[in-house]
Structure 1
Amino acid sequence: MTSENFEEISMKDMMSEIENSMKPIHGGDIIKGEVISVSDSEVLVNIGYISDGIIKREEFSNNEVNLKDTLKAGDKIEVYVVKVRDEEGNVVLSKKKADELKVWRDLEESFKTGATIEVKVNEVTKGGVIAYVKGVRCFIPASHVSNSFVKDLNQFVGKDLVVKVIEFDMEKKRVVLSRKEVERKEVENKKEKLWTSLKKGEKRNGVVSRLAKFGAFVDLGGMDGLIHNSDLSWKRVNHPSEVVKEGDKVEVYVIDFDKDKGRISLGLKDIQGDPWNNVARKHKANDILDGTVVRLLDFGAFVEIEPGVEGLVHVTQITDENITKPSQILKVGDRVKVKILEVNAEEKKMALSIKEAENKTTEEIEKYSDKDEGNYLFADLFKDLKF
C-alpha cells in the first residue's frame, strides 16, 4: 500500500469518525444553531454538524426583512431541517418553517394542557372572528367571543384577547379558540372569592347592573346581589328607578346571603338612619299630624307622616260615613290630617284615624267660636286649617 493510499484511507476514516461523532439530523427536525455570517441573500449557520446549514432569504420569514438588520454573527436561532444535503453538500434550513412548526406545537400543547394564550383579533368573518398566533390563522366562533351576548363583532377587531384552544387539528390546519371559556373560569373564580369573603352587615361597593319591578341588582364584582325595593330607601319605593339607575356606583350593606341558593340580599338605606328610631320620642298617642296617602288596600289606607314612617288608617277610621273600601273616599297622593291612636316603634306600627282628627278639629273650632272674642279667634284658627 502506497503512502498516498494510506493517507486517503486515513482521511476517510477520520471524516467517518467525525461524522459518526456528530449528532445525527434528519429532514423535519427542529434544531438550534449559531449564526456564522449574514449576507443579503442567505444566512450561514453552524448547527454542530459536519456541514453548515444555509437559510435562503425566502426561507427566513413570511415577511419582507433585511437579513443584515435582523441577524448578526453569534446569534442563536432555531431552524427547521429541509434537506440534510443539497447538491453542494450543505444542509438546507428554514427559519420560517421552524417558527411555524413551533407555533403549531405550542398550540397543541395549549390544547392538551388547557393553558391560555393571548391573541389579537384581525378581522370579522362569517360566523365569528379571525385571530393570528404568530402567523397561524385561528378561528373564534361568535358564540365563543364572549361569555355575554355580542351584537356587533366588529368591536373586537384590533383587541387583544386571552383565549383557550378548544379544537386543534394540525393536519387540517384548523385551530378554534374560545374567549368565553376563559371568562367563565374567571367568573367562577371571582364568585368563589366573593363567597369566601362575604360578611353580614359589612359595606360593599358595587355597580347597579339591572333594574326589576321588585328591586335593583348590583354587581359586587363577579356576582349580583339584590336590593329589594323595601331596602332601597326608608321612604316607600314603588319602582327602583325612583332611587337608582343602571350603571350607578353604590355602597351597599350585606343583609344576608345563601351560597347554596346563590342569593345575596343587599340594602342601600343606612341601617343607623332608620326614622323609626326616633318615632317614640317625636310622636305619641292623640297627636294630630299632616300626612300623605301612599297606599290603598281593601281594609285601610297607609298614610306617611314623615319620610319612612307610615301608619295604617283602618277603613272604619276614615269617615263616619258607611264605606266598604278606602278608595271610595281617598286616593293615593291625598294630603290628610290624622290622629295617632297607637304607636309601636319596636314593631314599626302605627294606628291612625282620619275621622277622629277631623272631629278633633271640629271640636276646636266649636270651642273657640263659643267665646266672646270668638269671631276673630275663629277666623285666625280657620285660616291655618287645611281641608
Structure 2
Amino acid sequence: MPMFTATLGSFSGISFHSQLSTPDSSIPSSISFPIIVRQFNFSKYAHKLTAKMPWYHTTRVFVSGNTEVENSENGTIVDPDGTRQAQKSADWKAAKAYQESGFIYDGRIEGFNVGGLLVRFHSLVGFLPFSQLSPSHSCKEPLKTIKGIAQGLVGSLISVKVIQADEDRRKLIFSEREAAWSKFSEQVKVGDVFEGRVGYAEDYGAFVHLCFPDGLHHLTGLVHIKEVSWDLVRDVRDILTEGDKVRVKVIDVDRVKKRIGLSIKQLEEDPLLETLDQVIPQDDSADPDSFSSIDNSGIEPLPGLDTILEELLEEDGIDDARISRQGFEKRVVSQDLQLWLSNAPPTNRRFTLLARAGRQVQEIHLTTSLDQEGIKGALQRVLERVP
C-alpha cells in the first residue's frame, strides 16, 4: 500500500503533516490540502479527515523541524522518545541562565493579549507585560492605544531581559525596561540636562521619559513635587499633565535601585537667591551711605517682619534670628515685604536672610543647624502660617 504525506498547515511554528495510506496505487505520491489549522485540536480535525478520506490513518506533528510528536486516534499527544520534553527542559534551563546572568535576549514577538506581548524564546513562548515595555513605543506614537502599538510590534524583534523563569509554574516573564536600563543608564550622569515627555503625573511627582540622542525615549525618571517649581506646589497634577514636553536636570542616579531623580526648577533661577549680592554686597566695596551697621536694637523691623522672626524661632533647628543691618535701594521695587536667602556661605552656622519693602532692605542673621534647603522649608512653613 503506497504512503504519502499531505501538508496541512502550521500553528505557532509547528508544521502539521498527515501520514496517509490508500489501497489505490493510482493515487499520486504527493497531495497538498489547502487547509489552515486554527486550533490545536487533533481529534476534531481527524474526524473531518476520516469523513472525507476513509484511507486516513494517523497524524504527526513536527516541532521546529526536529521533534516528532504522534497523535493517536483519540487526539492525545504523545512523545515516544521524550525529545520534545527534553528540548523544552533545556530551554527552561537556558531561560534561567539568562535571568541569572542579566544577558539581553532578542526575541520575536508572536502575538499579544489584553495584558502584554507574547515573545518566542526557542521552543517556549514567554510574556512581556505592557508595563515592562520601554517608553520609546508610546512616545514615538503618542496617539496610538496600547493595543495599536502591540499590533504594530507583532513579527518584530525586541530586546528584553528575563526577569522570571519558573519551569514548575510555567512562568516566563520578560522586561524591555530592564534591557533599556542596561543599554542606556551609563549615558545618564548627575548634572545632565534632557528633553523629556511627561508619562504620567501623581500628586507627589511626575514620571518623565528621557529623550536620548537617537531621538527615542528609553528611560524614565521622577520629578518629585519639591523639584517641580520654586513656588509652593500642593499637587503636581495642577502643574504637569501626560504628554507635556519639559526640560529636566538629572540630580540623582541610583544604579542599585535603578532610579533617576530629576528636577525642573533647578534649570531656573532660585528667586530667593536672585540679585542678593547686588542688594547688599557681602564685602566692604559698597557705598558707606547705602547701608548702616548700627546695633540691631536701633532698627525698626519692616512691617510684618517681627512676626516672621518670632515664628522662625519656633522652628526646630533655628536658634537665633536678628536684624544685623539695613540699607536703601535707589529705586522702589515693591512695597510688599519680600524675603530672600543669601547664597553667601554660612559662617559659624550663621546664614544671611534679606527682607525688602519699598526702598528699605534689612539683613537678618540666622543661627541654625539647618542647611539651605532646611531653611527654605522653614520659611515656607512660616509664611503659610503668617497672615
TM-score (norm 1): 0.41
More helix per residue: 1
TM-score (norm 2): 0.41
Max radius of gyration: which structure? 1
